[in-house]
Structure 1
Amino acid sequence: MDTYTNLRAGEKGAYLSIIAYIFLSTLKLAFGYIGDSQALRADGLNNLTDIIASIAVLVGLRISQRPPDDDHQYGHLRAETIASLIASFVMIYVGIEVLLTAVKSLFTTTHGNPDTLTIWVSLFSAVVMYAVYRYNLQLAEKIKSTAVKAAAYDNRSDALVSIATAVGITAAIVGLPIIDTITAFIVGIIILKTAYEILKEAIHLLTDGFDHDILERVKVEAAHIPQVREVRDVRGRQHGSLMLLDVTVAVNPNLNVRRSHEITEEIEAYIRTIDEHALAFVHIEPYDPKEMIICEDDYHF
């Protein structure tokens, strides 16, 4: 599949998350009121905020599919990374809310008496969200989508929150509400840690960060090609799910155009073994050791 086909496939994960969150938030809020469980109602409200994150991912994937135009010569693929950035912000908000709720519960002297049915609702929700997480994670790895991966991690966090809710409800029923607080703290920290990892990756990509190991591999491979005298520069950046690489090599100035072109094709072919959808720009320059000597002499005053 090409890059744009992958983006369209990624929409399935976003739609699945939205449908799951709408269903589960409705279920949790309804049974939260029926079963007198404040924890389940809070979890339902949490899923309502997750709908926003999933919609942001969907919008980002849609915008990424727009073709290049006068203002975006490389297309709109970075909208996908921005979508994962927004998803991380939502997760940070949810994580902070979970921690604040845990702190407030320490000073709560009255606790409800929830119905045992609410425990099963929480566990059912955890199973559903874990299944959605596994689907989205596999999809993200297949299409190399940062936005879908962010949605998957958000799904996993919600599965953990639902498990924590079940533990908290159980603790409230048996008269040990402190377990709910401890579990909430742990889940809140996990959510914030996951959000930080997504945020860090998104900022890294948006600031043109790139895997140094890939650049070194390309540099070594290009240097081994016959008639390549020098690898002068290898640069890379990630444009959404599309890898862009710029390679500059020097060859004998008397080398004919056909052989020079073959060298560029060899380098491009190797880059495609790293990522079949990568876009490589290989620039050929004439090699002249005297240029290096002159250049060095120019800096002697």
Structure 2
Amino acid sequence: MPNKNLAIRTVIFSLLGNIALATIKFIAGIFGNSYALIADGIESVLDVFASVLVLIGLRYANRPPDENHPYGHGKAEPLITFVVVVFLIVSASTIAYQSIQHILTPHELPENFTLWVLGAIILWKEISYQIVIRRSIKIKSNSLKAEAWHHRSDAITSIAAFIGISVALYFGEGYESADDYAALIAVLFIVYNSYKIFRPALSEVMDENNHDELISRIREISLQVKGVKGTEKCFIRKAGMEYHVDLHAHVEGDLTVTEGHDIAHLLKDKLQKEIPQLGHVLIHIEPA
């Protein structure tokens, strides 16, 4: 439960930050004559909707198991991540389209103060990224990782805008569209980050076997339980912030059913105590 509450508080932190930044970017972009900032603002608006979806997804994923969902609702988290990726792609496409339109349409140079605004935004977004990514790693949350990369992609877009506006202001007339070209470059980074977010979520939905470190730890802990002679098959499925485990454990072949059953319970309790993020643990007893 503490991990789940931490995830929800983190998304609320991102949501409030995105609302504030979207407002600042639009105001600065309109009065500072910078489409790169306005494009940044468009991305932040989409980030707000994405954060709301992540928040809804986390709350649903944290619901306890029920009759129709005996393994809980954790799979909702990667599904929400897919939606967040769609938002990122829509954001990138919107920025690319509008940037091309502005490149084809002559406009004035950006104002100097937009650089100060962008500098503050870049700093805040990188701080936000570091906070959210650390928490996503701590609680093993793909949707929080997607939220973190939203901050990083926003920072990258702002850096590109900062460079573009700097070029436009330094070289002057004839370079008015430099920030628009910078926004196009930022689009490439956003698309790349979208893939980095999408791939782990797809892995989770498809139950890919990429939990070697956790499997090794489970086998090591299992041998500490009295009566367990070894382990064989160990299958893991990730659902949200929990890992469901199917484990085959070897015991002496001449034990009674009751004795084997007791060892299985001891092993299950030991694993869930040592590895709190484990959800369902199914132990299959086999003769050594």
Query: What band does the TM-score fall into relative to the shorter chain?
Result: 0.7 to 0.9
Unaligned runs of 5+ in 1: 288-301
SS in structure 2 of the partner of residue 130 of structure 1: helix
Within the alignment, does 1:110 sit opposite 2:98 as a pair? no
The structural deviation recorded for 1:250 is 4.2
Which digits, 9 at most, give the CA deviation of each residue in 1:22-45, with x for residues without a partner? 111111111222222222122112
Using structure 1 for the length normalisation, give the TM-score. Answer: 0.82
Supply the distance in 2 between the matched residues of 1:22 and 1:212 (Cα, whole angstroms). Answer: 37
Task: Please provide the CA RMSD for this pair.
Answer: 2.7
Conservation of the 8 A alpha-carbon contact between 2:228 and 2:263 = no
Q: Percent identity?
A: 28
Q: Name 2:119's counterpart in structure 1.
A: 123
For 2:285, the equivalent position in structure 1 comes to 284
Q: For the residues of structure 2 that align with 1:28 and 1:178, how far apart are their CA atoms? A: 18
- Structure 1 residues 78 and 32, CA gap change in structure 2 (3 angstroms): same
Amino acid at match of 2:8: E
Distance 1:225 1:33 in 2: 66
Question: Quick check: 1:55 aligned with 2:37?
Answer: no
Rounded to whole Å, the distance in 1 between the matches of 2:180 and 2:43 is 17
**SS at 1:45 equivalent:** helix
Q: Report the Cα distance in structure 2 between the residues aligned to 1:36 and 1:266, rounded to whole angstroms.
A: 65
Larger Cα-atom Rg:
1
CA distance in 2 between partners of 1:105 and 1:252 (Å): 75
User: In the alignment, residue 158 of structure 1 is paired with which amino acid?
Assistant: D
Identify if the C-alpha distance between structure 1 residues 80 and 216 changes in structure 2 by more than 3 Å, giving closer, same or farther. closer
Cα distance change of structure 1 residues 137 and 233 upon mapping to structure 2, 3 Å threshold: same
Shift of 1:105: 5.3
Q: 1:290 corresponds to which residue?
A: none
Q: In 2, distance between residues paired with 1:41 and 1:172?
A: 16
Contact 2:268 2:282 in 1 (8 A): no
2:30 aligned with 1:10, yes or no?
no
- Conserved 8 A contact 1:230-1:250: yes
- Cα deviation per residue 1:240-273 (whole Å; 9 max; x = unaligned)? 1101110123434321433663366347636765
Query: 2: distance between equivalents of 1:105 and 1:36?
Result: 11
SS in 1 for 2:45: helix
- Cα deviation, residue 229, structure 1: 6.7
Cα 1:218/1:263, change in 2 over 3 Å: farther
For the pair 1:243 / 2:240, whether they are aligned, the reply is no
Alpha-carbon displacement from aligned partner over 1:103-130 (angstroms, at most 9, x marks no partner): 5555x25132221111211221111111
Show CA shifts across 1:184-239 (max 9, x none). 34422221111101111101101111325247626864589886677452211101
CA displacement at 1:142 relative to structure 2: 2.0
Aligned to 1:35: 32
Contact 1:247 1:282 in 2 (8 A): yes
Q: Which runs of 5+ in 2 are unaligned?
A: none
Q: After superposition, give the CA deviation of every residue in 1:115-164 in whole Å (9 maximum; x if it has no partner).
A: 11112112211111111111111221222221111101110110111111
- What residue in structure 1 maps to residue 262 of structure 2? 261
Q: TM-score, normalised by structure 2?
A: 0.85
SS at match of 2:204: helix
Matched residue count: 282
